[in-house]
Each structure stands twice: as structure tokens, then as C-alpha cells.
Chains A and B, each alone.
Chain A
Amino acid sequence: MTQRTSPRTVCARLAVRGVNALSRLLRRGSGTVAGGRVGLALDHSLLTHLADGRTIIAISGTNGKTTTSALMRAAWGTDVGGNLTGANMPAGHVAALVASRSRRFILEVDEAWLPTILTQCSPRIVCLLNLSRDQLDRASEVRQLAERWKAMAVANPASTFVANASDPLIVDALTNATSVTWVAVPHSWHADALSCPRCTAPLSFADRWSCACGFAEPESQWRIDDEGVVTKGAVTIPLTLSLPGLFNRINAAFVLAALDTLGESVATASSRLSTLDSVQGRYGLRRFGTRQVRLLLAKNPAGVAALLDDPDMLSREIWVAINAQIADGKDPSWLYDAPFERLAGKEVTCLGERRLDVAYRLEVDGVFATVVDESRHLKPEGPLVTIIANYTAFQEWMRLTTPW
């Protein structure tokens, strides 16, 4: 039911618009966070008011949030709003909701903020993609996060979860959820759920995972196999993507399952997905000097594993750019959890603040790499090169390259 808007909320909305416009005018940012913060300070219930009367799909998980949100927007049809700049905390949500009157809205949500967003925005659908270690110096260890999600699922019975059945931490988090559409996916990353979330004993991973205590993978309505074939029950869903990689077919499967759960046509949604060929510079071809480069974002072990799983994603020459700013996580220990040994046989160059960490990580697995201190020393001509970069390194490479 749509609520009446209070004067406080009206003021807060105007403040969000004003501050964000000023921010863009002064070139102090993309105008998605500052105004949101001011609005929330003026009206603590602003998100609830802004979400009222809209059909919201929330998307969260360690990896794939931004791409899945972009796929969801493409698949849902016209007049769909969302926080599509990657500002995935409440200030970013406020800014996006103020800027759009769309009744259909997609919220990409940081994992730690998901309980808050569910309480305040009451999304119809919540996609839970995966949970794995990520920036542990500033985020919760992954099991602590899963515990918070468990309470969240109980507190929001009106939301339907579209969730990863192959991830034991997510299944445990949804133990007491009212409504779940399960999606089974091929997993290349189990390291955060090798022991049972319920009894801590080692899990066994066969076709489906299970524990001696009885905790086991639930039956899924939706499945995607190792070849990327998506099925709902016994029916194969036609799916053609322009985005590369098995992990993007997994993201697309979540989109189709979510829209199907909402009552949308799967065939129509699927046919729209092929239109998307780049997400904020990721996956698409860009130019560095006269070279074609493909920029890939990988900021944690599961993300690297997903990229390196797919030989089609990688050129013969690979540049790995790793920083350790606050946004990246200050601790690059995770490099040893990522399967960089799969770069054996490639021509690898290490870049970024932690290039020596990367070079030694590769060396211990027999992958010898060149270390380059500054990007101006890189060859601006030659064949296609794939750049694997973490968050701030990726942003640097967006600035150093132009669309092809």
C-alpha cells in the first residue's frame, strides 16, 4: 500500500537531488553517494518511503552482483530502474530510487547491508548468488555473514529468495526462509564451505553436496550444468549471451529464475539477455595504444577461479594488476587461495602496487612473470591482451584505456 509522503521525506528527496546535482557539477564524483547520505541523515526512513509501491528485486552475493543486475535490467524489459553504478550501500540505493520513478527496480546490495535493505525496502525477490571470502580485513569472515543472513531470512517472510543451492553457506542461511527458488550451479570454488555450516564436519562434494549430519543440498527447480545449459525441471531454456564465460551463464540463470518466480515470461526474458555485451567496461574490448585489451575484474579467490576456469576468456598474454587500497582490501594474502597456477604457459606481466606479491605467488607454482613498475613501460602495440585486475586497479585501467 502506498503511504502518504511526509514533509520530512519530501525535504530529504529534494536534498538528495540537490547534493547529487552539485556533486556532479563540481565533478566531485558520479553523484550517487553524497546526496544519499544527506537524505538518510534527514530522514532515517527514506529508503522505506522510496521503495514503497515498487516491485524490487535485490541482488547480493560475493561475486557477480553488478553483472547480474545489468543482466536483470536487460531481461526485465523497459522502464526498469536500478543502482547500476555499483554504489551498492544505502546511500547509493537512495540516490538511485530518488532519480527514477520506475515501478520496477533492481537493487544491487552489498552482502553486509542486505539485512538492512530487506527490512527497509521489502523486495519481492532476493537473489543470493554465492558467498565466499572477500576483503577479510574490512569485512566479516564469511560464516559470520551467513549467520546474519539466517536471521534476515526469518525476519522477511514476504520476500522470495532465488538462491544458490550449490553453496552450503547460503542453504544454511535460508534454513528457515518461507519461500525459496533453488538454483543448482557448477562450482569451481568450495574453499569457504568445505566444512559443514551446521556441525563443522567435512562436507562431501559429489554430484550434490552432503554431510554425515544429514545437512544436504536441496532439490533445485533450476539447474545449470558444466556446459552452461540451463534447465527448469526437465525443460531446457534457450539462452544466448554476448557476455563471455560460464559464470555469466550462471548469472543469467539466476535472472531467468528470478523473473520466472515473479511471473514474467522466461522466453521473452531470455531473448533480451543477448543484447548486453559489456558491463561498466568489463568483458568488452578496449584500446591501449593500438592494442586490443579485454578488462576483467577479479577481486577475490572465487572470482579469479571463475575467470581462469574458462580458457576462452584468456589471451596468450595476460597482465595481472593488483592493488591493496581500502576498496581492494589491504591484505593480499588471498592471492595464495586463487588458482593462479592455471596461468602456466601464458606470458604474464605483473602490475599494480602488489606486483611483487603476484610475481612471487606465480613463481612458487612455476609460472615465471615479468614485473613492470609503471604502465608507460608496457608495449602499446601487439596482439590482444587480457587484463585481470582487482577493484582500484580495474578503475585505473578504465582510465588508461578507451572503448575499442
Chain B
Amino acid sequence: MDEVNDAVVTIALLYPELLGTYGDGGNARVLAHRATVRGIDAEVVAVSASDPLIAADIYLLGGGEDGPQRYACEALRRSDFVRRIDDGAIVLAVCAGLQILGTSFCVEGDDAYAGLAVVDAVTVRGDTRAVGELRVDVGGSLLVGFENHGGRTTVQATPPLGDVVHGVGNDGVVDGFRHHNVIATYAHGPVLALNPWLADDLLSRALGAPLEPHRSVADQLYAQRCRVLGGN
């Protein structure tokens, strides 16, 4: 997009009927709001699994329970989502969304289920469920959030999103991954509400230009969560 002020950001919330267990729709609301307050039009389109994919500037994949996760994976496999990622689509994938983009994941027991293989991430079922606050050092920026998942994910060549400071993430050491314009994390639900810097990073990628600073209660919230969780 050349002219930021004339731009319209289209945000595709993928399959909210399947991948929306933990307030995941909040990420779309936050992106749209942060664009709008800067005078940039934003449109959120909820795409059902029975609908074709749409052209969008940012795609959001949320968390979900086992059956819906498997169904969402199949719907994405039938679509041209992987090609769009290869072509540079900006994607935020959390929790089940993260697992779907990998080579395989476990649902409904310990059987491995084929993912979209966008990245070389293998998710197996952990001995215990990872539930609690998650803090991740993402290149010097602190990502704060909450995780609630039973998966343990191993990424091989793909770089992780960051190092786990507190919590489990992929494996207790690193969290998520980065691949082209895909950012994946186990910090579930409205992670962009808690991390305005990450929301702005996605938006500026979509716009191809840096954003004007925007102060809001989100900054107070981020500072509070960093303080409470012992970050900087």
C-alpha cells in the first residue's frame, strides 16, 4: 500500500466458529481500532469455514478445541491459504492456529494429524497442560499473555518467535515461530490487546509504512502486565 492515509486494511478473522475459544476475535477488533484511530480505514471480515478465503492484508488464526481444530485444518487445506502465505500474506496464528501451520499435531488422543506443513513444527501431546501466564522475549521486546494448551511443539529450521522468560510456550525454552510474514505464538486469545507493539508491527507490515505513535489505555495495560509479571 503506497499512501497510508488512503489505505484500507482488510483483516480476515478465519473460521471464528471453529477457532475462537479464548476471545480470539479480540485481535481483529484491536487491529481495526488501532488502524482507525490513525485515520486508516479498517474492515474486519469473519470468514466461515464454509466460505472461500478472501484477499486480506492480515489473516488471524485463533485457538480451538480438538474437533474444530481438525475441521479448520481441513478447510484451510482445501483453500489456497498456503499459497497466500508463500506469496507473503501476513498471518498471526495463536495456539491451535500455530499447531495447524506445522507438519503435524495431536487431536482427540495421541494420534498425529497432518497439518498444513507451512513450517517444520511438530506438536505432540504434553504430559501436562500448560496453563498460566506466558512471557516471551521477542528480540528485546517483551510479549505478555496467557497460555492454555496441551501441546509441546518442536521447530527445527524455522526460527522461534522468541525465548520463553516465564511459562511453557513451545517447549519451556522457546515460543512460537516466525516464517515469512507469519507470526505464531502460544499466547492465546487477545494477545494483541496485551501487546500493542505487536499489533502495530502487524499493521505497519500491512501498510508498508511506519505508524504514527498512538497512546491509549493499552499502553497502561501493557506496562501493568509487564510489571505484574516481573518484566521490564
Contact = CB atoms under 8 A, between A and B. Distances in A.
A357 B193 contact: yes
A223 B17 CA distance: 26
B99 interface: no
B65 A141 contact: yes
Contacts of A142: 65
A336 B218 contact: no
Contact of A356 (B131, B132, B224): B224
A116 B23 CA distance: 31
A interface, how many residues as a size bin?
Answer: 20 to 34
Given A202-B49, A333-B188, A336-B190, A360 B221 contact: yes
Given A137-B131, A195-B68, A337 B25 contact: yes
A363 B65 contact: no
B148 interface: yes
Given A143-B66, A334-B23, A359-B221, 18 more contacts: A133-B21, A141-B65, A195-B67, A201-B71, A330-B132, A331-B148, A333-B23, A334-B22, A335-B190, A337-B20, A337-B25, A356-B221, A361-B190, A363-B217, A363-B218, A364-B29, A364-B32, A365-B33
A267 interface: no
B154 interface: no
B190 A333 contact: yes
A141 B64 CA distance: 9
A366 B20 CA distance: 22
Interface residues of B, number: 38
B50 A202 contact: yes
Nearest to B49: A202
Interface in A122-148: 133, 136-138, 141-144
Contacts of B218: 360, 363
Nearest to B32: A364
A191 interface: yes
A199 to B, nearest CB: 9
A364 B148 contact: no
A136 B65 contact: no
A200 interface: yes
A209 to B, nearest CB: 13
Nearest to A136: B148
Given A200-B71, A333-B189, A136 B216 contact: no
B103 interface: no
Contacts of B22: 136, 331, 333-334
Most chain B CB inside 10 Å of its own CB: which residue of A142, A143, A144, A365: A143
A371 interface: yes
A155 interface: no
B126 to A, nearest CB: 15
Nearest to B228: A353
